Structure 1
Amino acid sequence: MINFKRTNEILNHFGIQDAQKTKLLTNDLKQLLFDEQTSDFKLVVKNEEDDEEEELYIHKFILAARSGLFLNMFQNIEENFQKVKDYSGKSLETIELLISFLYTDELPITADTDQEFIKEEFEDIIEYYQLNPTIPMMDIFEKYSKK
């Protein structure tokens, strides 16, 4: 069994504090985001704008840890053994933002992002996907809305 207390002592000895550990983890998870080489599952999402299907490569354990809906989906025997799931009901942009958030606890919002769209979409998504975020989602919207 891993001794996390000892691990923290070692990291602290080298000057790596809690905030840095979180940043390191977030950066590592960003590297995994949509990475085909390391993923163990693929969501196929239809792009509403041009009806093209997009493939999003994901890691089941990350989505299951962060979303009750994905946890239930992956516990389903049939879906647990599948490697691909056709997914519809939300726009590609919404699904990409959701998955980015599940991996990093951050929303990749830029000046071009429609913040009202995100607010409306994510109010429903928080409940539907049974999210387990570490910080309240609405606080994120308030932070980015003020920019």
Structure 2
Amino acid sequence: MINFKRTNEILNHFGIQDAQKTKLLTNDLKQLLFDEQTSDFKLVVKNEEDDEEELYIHKFILAARSGLFLNMFQNIEENLQKVKDYSGKSLETIELLISFLYTDELPITADTDQEFIKEEFEDIVDYYQLNPTIPMMDIFEKYSKI
């Protein structure tokens, strides 16, 4: 079994504090985001032109962060095939969701429609049974100041 206390002592010895560890992990996960070579599952979502877009994901990340994905991946039949977008959400919404599941951050800029985020993202938090480590209201407050 891994001794996390000892691991933390070693990292602290080299000057790597908790906030830095989180940042390192977040950066590593960002590198994996939508990476076809390392992914083990593909979500197929329709874009605005009704064409199918493929989003390459890692089952373990989605299963750890979303009750809906955890249940889906535990179903052998669904686990063996690619998944169509059965939620009716836009490609932009699904990309925001996946980014959030990987990083606990929403990739929002000053051009992002705040109402879109509040309406769409609040709905998917419940639908996908998310397990965010940051309370949703904190996220909305943080990004509403952009």
| Range class of TM-score, shorter chain | over 0.9
Counterpart of 1:34 in 2: which secondary structure? coil
Counterpart of 2:85 in 1: which secondary structure? strand
CA shift for structure 1 position 100: 0.1
The CA deviation string for residues 79-114 of structure 1, in whole angstroms up to 9 with x for no partner, is 122255455510000000000000000000011111
CA shift for structure 1 position 2: 1.2
The CA deviation string for residues 97-137 of structure 1, in whole angstroms up to 9 with x for no partner, is 00000000000001111111010011111111100000111
TM-score normalised by length of structure 1: 0.94
TM-score normalised by length of structure 2: 0.95
The CA deviation string for residues 29-87 of structure 1, in whole angstroms up to 9 with x for no partner, is 00000000000000010002454x11000000000000000001111110122255455
- Does the CA contact (< 8 Å) of 1:46 and 1:88 recur in 2? no
* CA distance in 2: counterparts of 1:34 and 1:23, whole angstroms: 19
Number of positions where the alignment pairs a residue of Structure 1 with one of Structure 2: 146
- Does the CA contact (< 8 Å) of 1:44 and 1:87 recur in 2? no
Unaligned runs of 5+ in 1: none
Deviates more, 1:128-137 or 1:73-82: 73-82
- Runs of 4+ that moved beyond 3 A: 83-88
* CA distance in 1: counterparts of 2:40 and 2:50, whole angstroms: 27
* CA distance in 1: counterparts of 2:40 and 2:110, whole angstroms: 33
Identity among equivalent positions (%) equals 97
- For the aligned residues, what is the CA RMSD? 1.3
